[in-house]
Structure formats: structure tokens, C-alpha cells
């Protein structure tokens, strides 16, 4: 069924294409061909391309949100300001796309990825690097029932991010000190930090400051987070309980990158 659908679209495309070719004499404008490969790399692989202006001078962000789960306008403004502060990109555009709910009780990263393949419309062009962010209405499938490890967001390729907006809203509702814009902004800044290659995830550390946690075999391994207390890239900010603790301690202010994380970004083309 799905194959047939793809074939139908392909046929329609080819027909339109050959029509436009027939109707003109030589000077045919070919439809722009989308090359998705540059946006299908690993997390951190485009850190330098996002931070510096040597390959791309513009940043285009597509925020695809499940209806009713769009981030606040304040969040959009704060994230753009952050990006202009830590990268050399000064042309930062955001486009929004509303999507129906996939009607899941939880989402695996594989499912988030499938939704991206169906819905993403922005890809890198000659002067623009494109980032896709999905605001989900369902929590991560890795969350535990007691809620201690409720994941706020994740990155899963070089220009792909998911924000578990229902979990972020729960966090904002848990304290009068935490506004929804603050919870969204802090989560997005943290996840952008990973796309910028932090910590040791594509941007080499100038000085060692990567925290460690136990892997499945019980060994202590680097976990791509910062071991400095209060830093935006601290591992506890990945989860609702840790983010709540940090935001309350900071009286509702969004955590910032510490000096070590800033050094790493600057060494890889950041501002």
C-alpha cells in the first residue's frame, strides 16, 4: 500500500516534470533537487558548520509542533538571541509547521525519526544550514513510571532535535518559579549545546570537563555532559527533576554555559 503511494507520487512528479520540459524550448528550469545527506550525519558532526560562518552563513530552523504544543513566542526570541550570542550566525530564521498528533502514549527516538522523515521540509542549501525541531505531545519511551528520569529533550542527528513538550509543561507547572518559556528555553539551549558538539561530542575539549556515568556493563564512561555544577550542559538538565532543581536554585533564570564549555565552542569556530 505504502509502496503504491510512493509510486503514484513519483509518477505524478515525472509527468509534471516532462510537461514542463515539453512546453519550453531549451531553457527549462529544473525543480530544485533536495540533497538530504548533509542533514543525515551524526550528532555533533555539524558543530563547526553551526558555530562558524565558513561553510554556511545562515541558519534556518523548522519547528514542527503537534497542534496545541507550540513553544511560546518568548522562547523563540530567547533561543534566537542565544544562537546569535554563541555562534557567528546573525541571520537566524524560524519557520513553524503544525502537525496532527501521532496519537502515541510515548515516543521512541526511532518513531521521532520516522516522523521527521515524513514531515521535515528544510534541508541545507548553498549558504544555509537547516535544523529540524519536533515538539512532541508524548513523553520519551525511556521515561520511568516514577518520573525521576523524565527526559525533556534529545538530539539524534547533526541537525535534528526533539523536545518532549508535554514533559516540559509538567516541569513548568511544578513550581511558581518556573515559567513555561524558561523551561522550554533552558531545554532548547541544552540540546543546541549537543548539536554544537558539547561535551566531547564533536567539539574537542580544550580542558577535560566531561562528566561520567555508568554504562550498561557498569563501567564509568564519558556521557557528553559537563562536570561543572550549574553549567547549562550539566547532565542533570536532561531530566525534569534535575532541571527543576537547577531552575529553582537559580530563581527561575536559564542556566548558562560555563567557561569550559565556552572555550570548547570558541575552539571549534564559535563566538
Q: Which residues bind Zn ion (CB under 5 A)?
A: 226, 228, 231, 233, 238, 258, 261
Nearer of residues 60 and 112 to Zn ion, judged by Cβ: 112
Nearer of residues 49 and 258 to Zn ion, judged by Cβ: 258
Cβ 216 to Zn ion shortest distance, Å: 18
Cβ 94 to Zn ion shortest distance, Å: 22
Cβ 259 to Zn ion shortest distance, Å: 8
Cβ 171 to Zn ion shortest distance, Å: 15
**Nearest-angstrom CA–CA distance, 184 and 99:** 19
Nearer of residues 88 and 156 to Zn ion, judged by Cβ: 156
CB 123, CB 39: distance < 8 Å = yes
Nearer of residues 76 and 258 to Zn ion, judged by Cβ: 258
Q: Is 102 helix (H, G, I), strand (E, B) or coil?
A: coil
Q: Are strands 58-66 and 91-99 parallel, antiparallel or unpaired?
A: parallel
Cβ 225 to Zn ion shortest distance, Å: 6
Q: Chain centroid to CA 90: how far? A: 19
Cβ 101 to Zn ion shortest distance, Å: 26
Q: Chain centroid to CA 22: how far? A: 42
Q: What is the largest CA-CA distance in the chain?
A: 69
Nearer of residues 38 and 193 to Zn ion, judged by Cβ: 193
Sign of the torsion formed by the C-alpha atoms of 173, 177, 181 and 182: negative
Dump the DSSP string for 131-190: EEEEEESS-BTT--TTSTT-B-EEEEETTEEEEEHHHHHHHHHT-TT--HHHHHHHHHHH
**Nearest-angstrom CA–CA distance, 117 and 19:** 28
Nearer of residues 231 and 246 to Zn ion, judged by Cβ: 231
Amino acid at each position: 500500500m505504502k509502496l503504491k503511494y510512493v509510486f503514484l507520487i513519483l509518477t505524478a512528479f515525472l509527468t509534471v516534470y516532462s510537461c514542463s520540459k515539453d512546453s519550453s524550448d531549451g531553457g527549462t528550469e529544473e525543480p530544485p533537487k533536495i540533497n538530504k545527506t548533509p542533514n543525515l550525519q551524526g550528532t555533533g558532526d555539524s558543530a563547526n558548520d553551526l558555530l562558524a560562518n565558513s561553510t554556511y552563513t545562515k541558519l534556518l530552523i523548522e519547528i514542527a509542533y503537534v497542534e496545541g504544543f507550540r513553544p511560546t513566542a518568548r522562547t523563540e526570541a530567547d533561543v534566537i538571541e542565544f544562537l546569535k550570542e554563541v555562534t557567528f550566525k546573525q541571520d537566524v530564521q524560524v519557520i513553524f509547521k503544525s502537525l496532527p498528533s501521532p496519537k502515541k502514549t510515548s515516543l521512541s527516538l526511532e518513531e521521532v525519526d520516522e516522523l521527521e522523515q515524513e514531515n521535515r521540509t528544510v534541508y541545507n542549501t548553498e549558504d544555509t544550514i537547516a535544523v529540524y525541531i519536533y515538539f512532541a505531545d508524548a513523553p520519551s519511551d525511556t521515561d520511568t513510571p516514577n518520573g525521576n528520569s523524565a527526559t525533556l529533550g534529545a538530539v539524534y542527528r547533526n541537525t535534528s532535535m526533539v523536545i518532549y513538550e508535554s514533559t516540559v509543561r509538567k516541569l513548568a507547572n511544578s513550581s511558581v518559579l518556573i515559567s513555561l518559556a524558561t523551561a522550554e528555553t533552558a531545554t532548547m539551549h541544552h540540546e543546541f549545546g549537543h548539536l554544537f558538539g558539547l561535551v566531547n561530542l564533536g567539539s574537542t575539549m580544550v580542558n577535560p570537563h566531561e562528566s561520567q556515568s555508568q554504562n550498561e556493563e557498569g563501567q564509568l564512561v564519558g556521557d557528553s555532559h559537563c562536570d561543572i555544577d550549574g553549567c547549562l550542559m550539566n547532565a542533570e538538565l536532561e531530566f525534569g527533576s534535575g532541571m527543576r532543581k537547577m531552575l529553582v536554585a537559580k530563581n527561575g533564570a536559564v542556566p548558562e554555559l560555563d567557561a569550559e564549555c565556552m572555550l570548547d565552542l570558541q575552539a571549534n569556530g564559535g563566538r
